[in-house]
């Protein structure tokens, strides 16, 4: 056979160089020893090098007999360049996120202080459904729900000053999210994805040739799933058409950013109280994170990244815990129907939580099994607590900083500005009047632990309440 470089080689030699038995099922004639290739095998699913002429090292790219092997080698080269560029972009994005996360953590105190400046309007009823875009799809053709977590005033009735402080506070994270989204968009146009889309289009056209008046196709009905499965076999790709890790990595990093944003939203909610619009904003943000995590799990599963799939499943469990905690922050409804709906929602989440834990424990990769077991145990303990609160008629609402300050102000007026603030071993706050030093011992009315002390000495198990003491120092 003549090569484009001018040299020649026998067919058997070229068949061996091209590793034809790797790509085709062969049949050997026992009498003559001739080899016939009768059907295609699955593609190797790994990077393969281009084959060159054994005399001049010029790549062999023009022989139609080896078209499948040649094109797969060219695809491997394009994917390697794509993956190198994407890996560098992802490293830069991760480093930037690490820096921005520190900036946000450092600015948290300033952000919380800005929340106390303006008064909050009560927002006990949820916003109108048609205005809520975060965590929801505009139409069924979208892959991801809305992710704009900075615009919160119009939808959630949160003060404009809070929105401005929130946007300034999370500005660095918004930049990180845009950078990761750009990496994801490039991953969506990877060489393997482009090949997959082209193969689906081409094969579908061939199979629908009779209905389009084209010759050469069978009269059997065409199913989209059959076309996609044939293309997966032909192209050697995951079932979603994505090759390489940048697709999954970008989804994972995007989810990590949203989870960190959710943590900051819970901080704001704990500070402003559940009667504020932050309560409904947190609900939508939980849903947004949940949808992204589900998409990440599916992508990691299709791409055969078991560790990333397990980490994503653990994130989803954590989001379920947060959702049940969010439900339990509201007082138990007096209306029977509302209470039943609340219990149904909690029970549904708890049932899925327990089922998912079983799946994770059974399928956890060996290298992270110890970490996985520790995380699962911690999540189970937390889930039991939040489910108990969400189901129980006994309700303990988290107290915002503004509410704590009001308690402090009233008590200080009654005590004439004297006294000091302490906590029992379980963190329940109490105040000692006059000089503020412990002279007697008593029991905490909340948990029954010993509080106070004697002879101006506080019990070792008790401690100063730093938050209330700071209010005391500022008032003086």
The residue extents of the domains of the chain are 11-62, 75-391, 401-475
In whole angstroms, what is the distance from residue 262 CA to residue 254 CA?
13
Over residues 372-414, the pLDDT tens digits come to 999 999 999 999 989 988 887 454 556 667 778 778 888 888 8
DSSP 433: -
Confidence at 220, pLDDT banded by 50, 70, 90: low
Helix (H) or strand (E) holding 471: helix 466-475
CB neighbourhood size of 23 (10 A): 20
The pLDDT, as a whole number, for residue 407 is 83
Radius of gyration of the chain (CA): 31
Residue 236's SS3 state is coil
Confidence at 213, pLDDT banded by 50, 70, 90: very low
**146 φ, ψ (degrees, to nearest 5):** -60, 140
The pLDDT, as a whole number, for residue 204 is 62
Over residues 11-38, the pLDDT tens digits come to 889 988 988 888 888 888 888 888 888 8
Q: Give me the mean pLDDT over the 111-121 stretch.
A: 80
What residues are paired with 422 via a beta bridge?
A: 430, 464
Q: Give me the mean pLDDT over the 89-93 stretch.
A: 94
In whole angstroms, what is the distance from residue 82 CA to residue 297 CA?
23
In whole angstroms, what is the distance from residue 433 CA to residue 416 CA?
9
| Burial (Cβ within 10 Å: 0-12, 13-18, ≥19) of residue 118 | middle
Which tokens in the block code for residue 132? Answer: 């809520």
Which of 134-138, 190-194, 213-217, 466-470 shows the lowest mean pLDDT across its residues? 213-217
Residue 205 has pLDDT above 70, yes or no: no
Over residues 32-72, the pLDDT tens digits come to 888 888 888 877 767 788 889 988 999 888 888 888 888 87
Residue 261 has pLDDT above 90, yes or no: yes
The pLDDT, as a whole number, for residue 303 is 83
Contact status, residue 193 vs residue 186, Cβ threshold 8 Å: no
Closest CA relative to residue 297, chosen from 337, 367, 229, 248: 248
In whole angstroms, what is the distance from residue 374 CA to residue 134 CA?
32
| Burial (Cβ within 10 Å: 0-12, 13-18, ≥19) of residue 383 | buried
DSSP code string of 83-126: HHHHHHHHHHHHHHHHHHHHHHHHTHHHHHHHHTTSPPPP--SP
Residue 272 has pLDDT above 90, yes or no: no
pTM: 0.69
In whole angstroms, what is the distance from residue 195 CA to residue 189 CA?
10
DSSP 49: P
Which tokens in the block code for residue 235? Answer: 């192209």
Show the DSSP H helices in 170-236 as ranges.
Answer: 171-187, 191-207, 224-235
Of 216 and 151, more confident: 151
Which tokens in the block code for residue 159? Answer: 């003060």
Classify residue 43 as left (phi > 0), alpha (psi -120 to 50) or beta: beta
């Amino acid at each position: 056979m003549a090569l484009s470089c001018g040299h020649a080689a026998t067919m058997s030699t070229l068949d061996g160089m091209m590793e034809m038995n790797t790509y085709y099922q062969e049949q050997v004639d026992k009498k003559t020893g001739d080899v016939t290739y009768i059907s295609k095998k699955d593609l190797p699913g790994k990077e393969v090098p281009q084959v060159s002429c054994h005399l001049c090292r010029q790549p062999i790219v023009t022989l139609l007999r080896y078209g499948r092997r040649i094109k797969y080698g060219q695809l491997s080269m394009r994917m390697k360049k794509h993956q190198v560029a994407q890996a560098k972009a992802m490293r830069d994005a991760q480093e930037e996120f690490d820096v921005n996360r520190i900036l946000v953590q450092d600015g948290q105190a300033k952000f919380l202080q800005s929340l106390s400046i303006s008064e909050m309007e009560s927002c006990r009823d949820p916003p109108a459904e048609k205005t809520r875009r975060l965590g929801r799809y505009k139409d069924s053709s979208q892959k991801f729900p809305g992710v704009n977590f900075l615009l919160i005033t119009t939808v959630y009735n949160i003060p404009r000053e809070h929105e401005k402080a929130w946007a300034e506070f999370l500005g660095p994270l918004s930049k990180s999210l845009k950078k990761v989204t750009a990496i994801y968009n490039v991953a969506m146009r990877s060489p393997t994805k482009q090949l997959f889309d082209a193969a689906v289009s081409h094969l579908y056209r061939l199979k629908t040739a009779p209905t389009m008046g084209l010759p050469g196709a069978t009269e059997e009905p065409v199913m989209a799933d059959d076309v996609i499965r044939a293309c997966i076999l032909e192209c050697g790709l995951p079932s979603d058409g994505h090759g390489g890790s940048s697709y999954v990595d970008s989804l994972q990093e995007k989810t990590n950013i949203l989870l960190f944003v959710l943590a900051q939203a819970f901080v704001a909610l704990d500070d402003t109280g559940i009667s504020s619009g932050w309560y409904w904003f947190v609900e939508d943000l939980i849903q947004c994170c949940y949808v992204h995590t589900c998409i990440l799990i599916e992508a990691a599963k299709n791409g055969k990244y078991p560790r990333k799939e397990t980490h994503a499943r653990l994130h989803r469990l954590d989001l379920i815990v947060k959702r049940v905690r969010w439900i339990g922050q509201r007082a138990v409804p007096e209306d029977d129907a509302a209470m039943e709906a609340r219990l149904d929602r909690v029970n549904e989440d708890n049932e899925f939580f327990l089922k998912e834990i079983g799946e994770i424990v059974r399928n956890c990769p060996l290298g992270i099994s110890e970490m996985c077991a520790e995380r699962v145990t911690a999540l189970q303990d937390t889930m039991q607590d939040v489910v108990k609160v969400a189901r129980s008629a006994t309700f303990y609402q988290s107290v915002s900083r503004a509410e704590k300050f009001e308690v402090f102000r009233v008590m200080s007026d009654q005590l004439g500005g004297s006294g000091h603030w302490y906590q029992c071993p379980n963190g329940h706050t109490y105040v000692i009047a006059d000089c503020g030093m412990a002279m007697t011992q008593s029991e905490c009315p909340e948990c029954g632990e010993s509080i106070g002390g004697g002879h101006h000495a506080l019990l070792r198990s008790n401690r100063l309440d730093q938050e209330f003491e700071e209010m005391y120092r500022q008032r003086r």
